[in-house]
Amino acid sequence: MAEELEIVLTDDGTHLVRGDLDAHSAEAFEAAMAEVEGTVRLDLSAVDFADSSGLRVLLGLHRRLDDDGGELRIRSAGTRLRRLLSLTGLDQVLALD
């Protein structure tokens, strides 16, 4: 069963994302990130699973921020997510810290 997505804004301004970033949570993630602007830092260390829908929303957020002069920075992506980003070539598009 998919784990519910949770997004917590930490004291340093990083958005800590917990749970699965997939077809079931993509819409909620997009809605939660709809108003963010500037440089947005996502800590994805607690993302247990991501699929193509999750990658789509990350790429969409990156493009929107970039178009508005901002930036998406991904911090602490786990091994599975880094591998997925590498396999899809998104590690060359998204800024990974």
Assign domain 6-96 to its CATH superfamily: STAS domain (3.30.750.24)
The tens-digit pLDDT sequence of the chain (97 residues) is 456 899 999 999 999 999 999 999 999 999 999 999 999 999 999 998 999 999 999 999 999 999 999 999 999 998 999 999 999 999 999 999 8
Structure confidence at residue 4 (pLDDT)? 85
Helix ranges restricted to H, the chain: 26-33, 52-67, 79-88
pTM of the full structure: 0.91
pLDDT of residue 49: 93
